[in-house]
Structure 1
Amino acid sequence: MNQLGFPILTLMIAVPAAAAVACLFLKEESARWTALIATLVDFALGILLWATYDVGGAQWQFQESVPLFGRFAWALGIDGIALMLIMLSVFLMPICIAASWRAIEKRVPEYMAAFLLMETLMIGVFSAQDLFLFYIMFEAGLIPMYLIIGIWGGVDRIYASYKFFLYTLLGSVLMLIAMLWMAQMAGTTDIPTLMAYDFPVQAQTWLFLAFFASFAVKMPMWPVHTWLPDAHVQAPTAGSVILAGVLLKMGGYGFIRFSLPMFPEASATLVWLVLGLSMVAIVYASLVALVQNDMKKLIAYSSVAHMAFVTFGLFAFNRQGIEGALLVMLSHGLVSGALFLCVGVIYDRLHTREISRYGGLANNMPKYAILFLLFTMASVGLPGTSGFVGEFLAMLGVYQVSTWAAIVATTGIITGAAYMLYLYRRVVYGPLDKPDVAAMLDLSPREIAILLPLAASVMWMGVHPESFLRPMRADVGAVLARLDRAKPAGDSLLKVSPVKPAAPAHQEHGE
């Protein structure tokens, strides 16, 4: 089903790909403008995609399929979940280009080409409907991020880029083997068909673990998270934004697209593994974040803790948990990206990320202090911001499965407030007694233009989350329909009863 009559998804993939090639033949300033225009065009196409998406229509929309060879096909299409993640991608990408406008001064055309290639592959991952097309897009995304960290990163960029590449690549080898077996078993590589296929229960456990090896690294889950802090610290600011904002979400997308609907019995059997690792991640990452001196590393460890809420919610096997997990993914993409941009703003002025080097910025950078406070509160989960709704729903969902897991998640919210507020206090408040800090100028018009759309989106999601939940609701229901037969019995005393129909008006009046 394609409401628009033209292949919009292929066009959204082709625009940044063509611009990436063009950038390689342009001068620095022309490459910057080409990248910005291409990403804005893709954002406009994304808005058209969202506006045209029929919430009450078919599950899979904007479908395209061109057979290539054998069973392999250029097959694209989206549901509401993919739509929201594509929108997150095309929204963040122009912001990343604008944030790199003057921060990147060497090999600018190649840098812009790498980011445009990244956008091409991200949209490909979320719209692919062929199993091996998904795998190619999923794995190819390693290459531009590897180059961004390795060429334009910090002092230890080579170590960080190799670690990032090896962790994420090795985790995906098992997934490829599982995909080959699945294609042979089901006789198709069509993802919508595979989502409705009943694989043998005895094989599901092995298939689940093979996919889990890849998606757990991408999230990243404890204990395969150690590549993330190094990658964030060494990556340029825009690289950290897109890594935290979108690339980490590919793991969560993989769980809800493959693991849960394709292997429901294995998901129910191994729920203890996912919940156990998530509990460790929340406690461990939050405590480690509390003792960090590097702002980027602190936010990186907070990402590990926040993504654990995603796995909590997804494996709650109920609507509240899964919808909460999806909202956490979207919110974290906005908030973590904004926090890395806030770090980049002051890093560009003082060229250090050491927390102890700052203090008193509320005096000479009040605009910065206000926006930084908003994103800090959203990270903490303040009601009225995007962070609250997703975490609340995810916790409500997981409480129905495991009381202890919900209690541990609550401690993560408390420690999250501790390390984020501690960071904010040390950077923004206190005496302004360092001459170089006192000389720092407030936000420039370009920096305000970068941060304000993120601030507006964070508030929009916090005040009206239904805008984001509505396109995904039917697709969550489709996943739940696959999970119902295998739903594990929870240990919670909370019992969700069906809503009773309202009594007719004449009975209410005793008639």
Structure 2
Amino acid sequence: MNDFPWLTVLVALPLVGALAVAFLPKTPGAELPKQVALGFAALTLAVGVAIAVQYNTGDGMQLTETHSWVEAFGVHYALGVDGLGLLMILLTVVLTPIVMVAVWSDTDDGNSTAFFAWTLALEAFSLVVFAATDVFLFYVVFEATLIPAYFMIGGFGREGRGRAAIKFLMFQLGGGLVLLAGVIGLYVVSADAGTPSYLLSDLSEIEMSTTAERWLFVSFMVAFAIKAPLFPLHTWLADTTEKATTGTSVMLVCVLDKIGTFGMLRFCLELFPNASQWATPVVVTIALISIIYGALVAIGQDDLLRLIGLTSLSHFGFITLGIFAFSSQGASGSILYMVNHGIGTAALFLLAGYLIKRRGTSLISRMSGVEKTAPVLAGLFLVAGLATLGLPGLSPFVSEMLVLIAAFDYHWWVGAIATSGIVLAAIYVLWVYQRVMAGPDLQAGETAVASDRESDPVTEPAGGGTATATAARAATLTETRRDLKTREVAAVAPLMLALVLFGFYPMPLLDVSNPTVHTLLEHVGVSDDEPVVPATEHDAAEEGEH
């Protein structure tokens, strides 16, 4: 079974699916492209589960495939999974079909073929990134993810999406160029050491000069800080989430952006351990600024989608802080945070999309009283919001606690500042819920006005044209105030279940990630201090007798 190319099959399925969907007829209301895309996404999920079943915790990189690609430059088609890669792969294969189900009825104008094809392509490229064990292969697919992402942002969404797509592309291409310089530098370093190679296993054994290691670290870290994103390289994020569809935002923020923090763990720490420790004070400072700045700016937002995007800036600050605190709690908390953020933020985006579809606006100031007409939507939105602020009993709480423990262990003031980010998160989550879900139902008033105009003989001209239009408007307003449909609940139900399940029992995730964390910290040369337990008088007396 281990000789079977599981990872290649995992990557090939969504890629073949994307090509198949792309050649289907582009007709309004067509269900076939959606059904084919969902079928390939489900098959990919099944293969991902099969890989997880075979995975043995503690055995390092598994299901490896290595084939020479460009021999002269030491480039290989090399794939493998450890605990970190496996969790990111599972997050990707789970979120993709959920997004498809969630946006099923949002693309009935003939664009479903393109949207679902690009979604599968983005899934395929992301899976290669999380499984790549060759730096050059990683770089190629790192850049390739921008193609479907750009078309998903620019082709679907609200007015201004084209400008947001260009801004996204410019930032990401800039980071990619900086990363390319580092990739070329690795070739030079490996060639000087003997034989050129881009395999992680070979590069991690090379002794680099201090100067070379630091410059290479900076090139990789800048690219990952843009992708994650971190302050001050984050400005593309809010514009993108505001203008793109919520399905696109889920794939970008909950899957694609994880490549940034994944790369910090996989490449920065593994290839440049000394430089990573050298840069820790600066990175920790940037992470703290991201935490506080993201939360403060989110509080002042009136656009719901922009607000959710900015909360992710704060969350990625927590993830980065845990990584560079250099402790087992911090690294484990960061990996767990990556998974939990993907689950919770995906739920929040999808529920926000349902809400905007019903209210016809994303402006918080124009929403109110949703809990009166759509209690299920309001309740699920509250659970997702509470997960975002780290409520005990929901999965993000566990990861935040581990990161905060590592932060306080690093320095008390680092932990104190990070903790204030949680307080700010409570402010923006509860405030947005109060403004959107509580209070009077604004649209109920609009419906009443429409009904009054319909029955007013003074305003009704001969022929009843105004009355007919007003009645249609009233019917439309009534329709938009309906609660969630069965399909919409089914899309977010797995996410809600995961938030509760991993909130009370996170060990399945930690059991997978902890061995990888131990190996990584051992490679960096960091070991946690053993807990000091004061001896009791009885223990001291027994020692004296012996």
TM-score between both structures, scaled by the size of structure 2 = 0.88
Contact 2:75-2:197 within 8 A present in 1 as well: no
Shift of 1:496: 5.8
User: What are the Cα deviations for residues 214-258 of structure 1, in whole angstroms up to 9, with x where unaligned?
Assistant: 000011000010000001111111001111111111000000001
Count of aligned pairs between the two proteins: 499
Tell me if 1:464 matches 2:505: yes
Any conservation in 2 of the 1:103–1:348 contact (CA below 8 Å)?
no
Find out whether 1:497 has 2:501 as its counterpart: no
User: Does the 8 A contact of 1:175 with 1:211 survive in 2?
Assistant: yes
The residue that corresponds to 1:421 in the other structure is 430
The farther-off stretch of 354-363 and 218-227 is 354-363
Residue aligning to 1:121:
125
Q: CA deviation at 1:499?
A: 6.7
1:19 to 17, 20, 24: 17
Q: Deviations over 1:338-370 (max 9, x none)?
A: 100011001122221011222122122111122
Equivalent position to 2:306, from 288, 297, 301: 297
The CA deviation at 1:424 is: 0.9
Q: Paired residue for 1:274? A: 283
- Which residue is equivalent to 1:8? 6
Q: 1:107 deviation in Å? A: 2.3
Contact 2:135/2:199 (8 A) holds in 1: yes
Equivalence for 1:330: 339
> Contact 1:241–1:340 (CA<8 Å) still a contact in 2?
yes
Q: Distance in 1 between matches of 2:534 and 2:202?
A: 36
Q: What is the Cα-based RMSD across aligned positions, in Å?
A: 2.1
Which stretches in structure 1 are left out of the alignment for 5+ residues?
489-494
Following superposition, the deviation at residue 151 of structure 1 comes to: 0.9
Of 181-190 and 248-257, the range deviating more from structure 2: 181-190
* Alpha carbons 1:361, 1:428 under 8 Å: kept: yes
Q: Is the 8 A contact 2:391 2:397 kept in 1?
A: yes
One-letter amino acid matched to 2:427? A
Cα separation, 2, equivalents of 1:382 and 1:341: 20
Contact 1:168 1:217 (8 Å CA) reproduced: yes
Counterpart pick for 2:49 among 47, 51, 73: 47
TM superposition shift of 1:106: 3.7
Q: Does residue 89 of the first structure (1) align with residue 130 of the second (2)? A: no
2:525 match: secondary structure = helix
Quote the residue 1:64 is aligned against: 65
8 Å contact from structure 1 (residues 199, 262) kept in 2 = no
Aligned counterparts of 1:11 and 1:419: Cα–Cα separation in 2: 43
Tell me which amino acid in the other structure corresponds to 1:211. Answer: F
Contact kept in structure 2, 1:221 and 1:278, CA below 8 Å? yes
Inter-partner Cα distance in structure 1 for 2:367 and 2:478: 9
Find the residue that maps to 1:54 and give its secondary structure: coil
Q: Does structure 1 residue 264 correspond to structure 2 residue 270? A: no
Deviations 1:351-395 (A, max 9, x none): 210112221221221111221111111101011101101111001
1:197 and 2:214 aligned: no
Distance in 1 of aligned mates of 2:123 and 2:331: 26
> How many angstroms apart in 2 are the aligned matches of 1:374 and 1:107?
32
Farther-moved stretch of structure 1 (220-229 vs 17-26): 17-26
Distance in 1 between the 2:393 and 2:207 partners?
42
Unaligned runs of 5+ in 2: 191-195, 448-476
- 1:477 is matched with 518
Q: CA deviation at 1:285?
A: 1.4
Deviation at 1:52, TM superposition (A): 1.1
Give the 3 Å change call, closer, same or farther, for CA 114–501 of structure 1 in structure 2: farther
1:68 to partner: Cα distance: 2.3
Once superposed, which parts of structure 1, at least 4 consecutive aligned residues long, lie more than 6 Å away? 499-504
- CA distance in 2 between counterparts of 1:304 and 1:414 reads 16
Residue number among 361, 367, 374 corresponding to 1:365 in the alignment: 374
Tell whether the 8 Å contact from 1:24 to 1:113 is kept in structure 2 after alignment: yes
8 Å CA contact 2:75, 2:199 repeated in 1: no
Q: Deviation at 1:174?
A: 1.8
Matched, 1:152 2:156: yes
Q: TM-score, normalised by structure 1?
A: 0.94
> 1:209 Cα shift?
0.7
Deviations 1:239-279 (A, max 9, x none): 01111111111000000001112112111111111111111
Which deviates more from structure 2 when the two are superposed, residues 383-392 or residues 424-433? 424-433
Tell me the distance in 2 between the aligned counterparts of 1:66 and 1:165: 31
